[in-house]
Chain A
Amino acid sequence: MTRVLARVLAFFRKRALDEDLDQEMAAHIELAVEDSLRRGLSPEEARRQALAHFGGLEPARERHRDARGLPLLDSILQDLRYAARTLRHDAGFTIAVLLILGLGIGVNTAVFSVVNTVLLRPLPFHDADRLVWLEDTLGDADGHIDLSSLTFSVDMYEPMVRYNHSFEGMAAYNAFFSQGDYKLLGRGEPERLTGVPVAESFFTLLGVQPVLGRSFAHEECQKNGRKAVMLSYGLWQRRFGGNADIAGQTITINKDAMTVVGVLPKTFDFGSVFSPGTHVDIFVPGVMDEMRDQGNELAVIGRLKPGATVESAQAEFHALAPMIRQVHPDWYMHVDSRLRSLKDYVSGKLRRSLVALWCAVGLVLLIVCVNVANLLLARSAARNREFAIRGALGAGRARIVRQLLTESLMLAGGGGALGVGVAFALTRFVAGSQTIAVPLLGSVRVDGAALGFALAAAVGAALLFGLAPAFAATVDRTSDSLKETGRGASEGKKRATFRASLVVAEVALACVLFAGAGLLLRSFMRLLDVDLGFRPSQAYALRLDYIYGNQATMNAYYREVLSRVSAAPGVESAGITDALPMGQNRSWDFLPKGGTWPRDNQPAFVNMVAPGYLESMGMHMRDGRGFDWHDTDTSEPVMLVNETFARRAWPGRSALNQVIMLSPKVSRRVVGLVANVRETSLEAQSGAAVYIPITQTSDLAEVQLIVRAKLPVDAITPGVKAALRSLNPNQPVRDLQALQEIVDRVASPRRFFAMLVGGFALFGLLLASLGIYGVISYSVARRTKEIGIRMALGASTQEIRNSVVGRTLRMALIGIGLGMAASLAVARLIGSLLFGVSPADPATFLGTVLVLGTMAAIAGYLPARRAARVDPTIALRAE
Chain B
Amino acid sequence: MPDPKLDLLQGTLDVMVLQTLQAIGPLHGYGIARRIEQVSGDQVLLNQGTIYASLVRLQQRGWIDAEWGVSDTNRKAKYYSITRRGRKQLAEDTAHWQRLADVMTRVLALTPEGENQ
Contact = CB atoms under 8 A, between A and B. Distances in A.
Contacts of A10: 56, 60
A554 interface: no
A489 interface: no
B78 interface: yes
A68 B77 CA distance: 20
Contacts of B97: none
A57 B50 CA distance: 10
Contact of B50 (A23, A32, A63): A63
Contacts of A67: 53-54, 56-57
Contacts, number: 81
A802 B77 CA distance: 78
B62 A28 contact: no
Interface in B14-73: 28-31, 33-34, 47-50, 52-54, 56-57, 60-62, 71, 73
B75 interface: yes
Given A30-B75, A31-B28, A34-B75, A24 B52 contact: yes
A68 B50 contact: no
A32 B60 contact: no
B57 A31 contact: no
Given A28-B29, A35-B34, A60-B49, A68 B60 contact: yes
A64 interface: yes
B54 to A, nearest CB: 7
Interface in A46-71: 53-57, 59-60, 63-64, 66-68
A21 interface: yes
A783 interface: no
A55 B49 contact: yes
B28 A54 contact: no
B99 interface: no
B76 interface: yes
Contacts of B34: 35
Nearest to B73: A34
Contacts of A68: 53, 56-57, 60
Contact of A55 (B28, B48, B78): B48
Contacts of A824: none
Chain A interface, DSSP helix/strand/loop, else mixed = helix
A23 B68 CA distance: 10
Nearest to A7: B60
A25 interface: yes
Contacts of A32: 30, 48
Interface in A237-296: none
A27 interface: yes
Nearest to B56: A68
Q: Which of B31, B60, B75 has the most CB atoms of chain A within a 10 A radius of its CB?
A: B60
A742 B48 CA distance: 86
Given A31-B77, A32-B30, A35-B34, A25 B61 contact: no
B78 A27 contact: yes
B44 to A, nearest CB: 12
Interface in B61-112: 61-62, 71, 73, 75-78
Q: Which of B56, B61, B78 has the most CB atoms of chain A within a 10 A radius of its CB?
A: B56
A60 B28 CA distance: 16
Contacts of A497: none
B76 A56 contact: no
Contacts of B28: 27-28, 31
B57 A54 contact: no
A68 B60 CA distance: 7
A24 B30 CA distance: 9
A306 B49 CA distance: 72
A57 to B, nearest CB: 7
Contact of B30 (A6, A27, A63): A27
A209 B99 CA distance: 73
B73 A27 contact: no
Interface string A11-30: 00000000011011101101
A199 to B, nearest CB: 69
Contact of A63 (B52, B62, B73): B52
B47 A60 contact: yes
Contacts of A75: none
A6 B60 contact: yes
B76 A27 contact: yes
Contacts of A31: 28, 30-31, 71, 73, 75, 77
A64 B52 CA distance: 6
Contacts of B52: 21, 24-25, 60, 63-64
Contact of B48 (A21, A28, A34, A64): A28
B48 A53 contact: yes
B49 A3 contact: no
A18 to B, nearest CB: 12
Nearest to A17: B56
Contacts of B53: 60, 63-64, 66-68
A55 B50 contact: yes
A7 B61 CA distance: 10
A54 B49 contact: yes
Contacts of B62: 2
A53 to B, nearest CB: 5
A40 B5 CA distance: 26
A27 B60 contact: no
A64 B57 CA distance: 8
Contacts of B56: 10, 64, 67-68
A63 B60 CA distance: 15
Given A2-B62, A3-B60, A68-B60, A25 B49 contact: yes
Nearest to B57: A67
Contacts of B33: 28
Contacts of A64: 52-53, 56
B49 A56 contact: yes
Given A24-B78, A30-B75, A68-B60, A54 B48 contact: yes
A23 B77 CA distance: 8
A60 B33 CA distance: 14
B55 to A, nearest CB: 9
Interface of A: 2-3, 6-7, 10, 20-21, 23-25, 27-28, 30-32, 34-35, 53-57, 59-60, 63-64, 66-68
Given A24-B77, A63-B52, 18 more contacts: A3-B60, A23-B78, A27-B30, A27-B71, A27-B78, A28-B77, A31-B31, A31-B73, A54-B47, A54-B48, A55-B47, A59-B49, A63-B49, A64-B53, A64-B56, A67-B53, A67-B56, A68-B53
24 contacts: A2-B60, A2-B61, A3-B61, A10-B60, A21-B52, A23-B78, A24-B29, A24-B52, A27-B76, A28-B48, A31-B73, A31-B75, A32-B48, A53-B48, A55-B49, A56-B47, A56-B49, A57-B49, A60-B47, A63-B50, A63-B53, A67-B57, A68-B56, A68-B60
Interchain residue pairs A-B with the least CB separation, the first 8: A55-B47, A60-B49, A67-B53, A6-B60, A63-B53, A31-B30, A68-B56, A27-B77
